[in-house]
Amino acid sequence: MNSALQWVWEQEMVLAALFRALRPGGRLALQFTAKDFSPPLLIVLDKVAMAMIPDCPYWSGKYPWFMGEVESYRRLVETAGFSEVKVWREEWPLRFPAAEAAVAFFRAAGLQPYLAFLPEATHAAFCTRLAGELEAICGYGEIELPFDRLFVLGRKAA
């Protein structure tokens, strides 16, 4: 399962359902956003959301995505019944020709919960401001953003 889990807060339920769905000996393989996966992006999202979306619940460490941590997620997977559990965090840098390209990439899915709080006529202004704040942190021209992922393997006993 790729990235879909970052949209689900009820991880215990998902893991239990995956365990039930697998045949004995079946394998689990997941990857999704790791905790604090991209500090520069999260910093600018907080700043722009505070300025442009006063009622936004997503700032100061509260984000619309589930972000896993190695040890706590390992315990969740083991509690669901999986054995041979391996959970690790991997750096996954993304390169963009400019901050605007990075914002366009994240706008496709990750920014949608933020944009839902804004009138459609202000979406472009939000994205422009976000790109400007990314440039202030990362510089102009090509930028590289961390996009750390959590990888998870497990097995349902035979």
pTM given for the model:
0.86
**What is the CATH architecture of 4-155?**
3-Layer(aba) Sandwich (3.40)
Looking at every residue in the chain, the average pLDDT score rounds to 93
Residue 135 has pLDDT above 90, yes or no: yes
Spatial neighbors of 51 by CB under 8 A, at least 6 apart, are 129
pLDDT digits (tens, 9 = 90+) for 87-102: 999 998 999 999 999 9
Question: Parallel, antiparallel, or unpaired: how do β-strands 149-155 and 83-90 relate?
Answer: antiparallel
Read off the pLDDT of each residue in 116-130 and give the average, rounded to a whole number. 96
Q: From start to end of 12-142, where are the E strands?
A: 27-33, 83-90, 94-96
Spatial neighbors of 5 by CB under 8 A, at least 6 apart, are 11, 14, 30, 32, 66, 68
What pLDDT does residue 67 have? 87
Q: How confident is the model at residue 61 (pLDDT cuts 50, 70, 90)?
A: confident
